[in-house]
Structure 1
Amino acid sequence: MAWASLVVAGLCEILGVLMINKWHKDGNWQSLALLILGFGTSFLFLAHAMKTLPMGTAYAIWTGIGASGGAILGMFFYGESKNWKRIIFIAMILGAAIGLKLIS
């Protein structure tokens, strides 16, 4: 259950990051509300996961999901670079997160 909570926390972090960008572009209250909701929910699920998982592992995977997810969605929705080197490094982040799961 802790691993599922950690994945949900990472996905909520991605939502929060996307809403930061949307809020800066639009400046509306809905984006700000989703930003707060995304990060707030993310922290709650991260805290739940950390009841069982080691802090270092949980935090590394949480940030890995958020960073790689934000970068991938930035490529698709905001026209960020899709350079092959960037994709390799995103894959390395995801591979490291999977590796931590396998050894934990």
Structure 2
Amino acid sequence: MAWIYLIIAGAGEVIGVMGINQVNQNKSIGSFCTLVGGFLLSFIFLSIAMEKLPMSTAYAVWTGMGTVGSALLGMFVFGESKDWRRILFISMILCAAVGLKLIS
């Protein structure tokens, strides 16, 4: 169950980063709510996940999910570059997170 909480925390991280981008584009109550709500969700579920998972693994996987999710969101929603090198390094981050799961 801790891994499910960690996945929810990673999704909240991506929502929070999306909120940062929205605040930069349009300073509205909705964009601030997305920012605060996403990070609040993220930190709450990360905290719950860390009750069962080692801190180093939970934090590394959480930041990896946030990084990969934010990069993919940028590429597919906000029109950022889809260069093969970006995709290569994103996949390396993803492989490292899966590797940590396999050895935990």
User: What's the TM-score once normalised by structure 1's chain length?
Assistant: 0.98
Partner of 1:60: 60
List gaps (5 residues or longer) in structure 1: none
Partner of 1:97: 97
3-state SS in 2 of match to 1:51: coil
Partner of 2:84: 84
Q: In the aligned structure 1, how far is the partner of 2:24 from the partner of 2:86?
A: 24
Partner of 2:35: 35
Q: In the aligned structure 2, how far is the partner of 1:14 from the partner of 1:99?
A: 21
Aligned Cα root-mean-square deviation (Å): 0.5
3-state SS in 1 of match to 2:52: coil
List gaps (5 residues or longer) in structure 2: none
Offset at 1:78?
A: 1.1
Which residue identity is paired with 2:79? Answer: G
> Size of the alignment, in residue pairs?
104
Offset at 1:37?
A: 0.6
Q: In the aligned structure 2, how far is the partner of 1:76 from the partner of 1:23?
A: 19
User: What's the TM-score once normalised by structure 2's chain length?
Assistant: 0.98
Provide runs of 4+ in structure 1 moved above 6 Å.
none
Offset at 1:27?
A: 0.8
**Identical residues among aligned pairs (%):** 56
Q: In the aligned structure 1, how far is the partner of 2:34 from the partner of 2:84?
A: 31
Q: In the aligned structure 2, how far is the partner of 1:77 from the partner of 1:51?
A: 34
